[in-house]
Amino acid sequence: MAQKGRQEGRRITYEEVSRATGIHRTTLTKIADPRGHNVRTDIVDKLCVYFEVPVEKILVHVPDE
């Protein structure tokens, strides 16, 4: 969200992303939580479309420690 906000010269909110994608704001905050959250592929797709980025910009693999 920060990168898109910088590109557009403004702050992007969860509420704005929620309205644009149809993804509930609670789901967005869970996804952003560093502890992790299971995400359906259709949600990942909506985020890729909204942010205009490939999937590898949305998902990051974090190996078990």
Helix boundaries (H) for the chain = 2-8, 14-21, 25-32, 41-51
Q: Contact 30/50 with Cβ under 8 angstroms? A: no
Residue 42 vs residue 7, higher pLDDT: 42
Residue 47, class by beta-carbon neighbours within 10 Å (0-12 exposed, 13-18 middle, 19+ buried)? buried
- Measured from the Cβ of residue 23, the count of other Cβ atoms closer than 10 Å reads 20
Residue 27 vs residue 8, higher pLDDT: 27
Structure tokens at 12: 């992007």
Band the pLDDT of 2: cuts 50, 70, 90. Answer: confident
- pLDDT (0 to 100) of residue 22: 97
pLDDT tens for 14-65 read 999 999 999 999 999 998 888 878 899 999 999 999 999 999 998 888 888 7
Tell me the CATH number of domain 2-57, given options 3.40.1190.20, 3.40.50.720, 1.10.260.40, 3.40.50.1100.
1.10.260.40
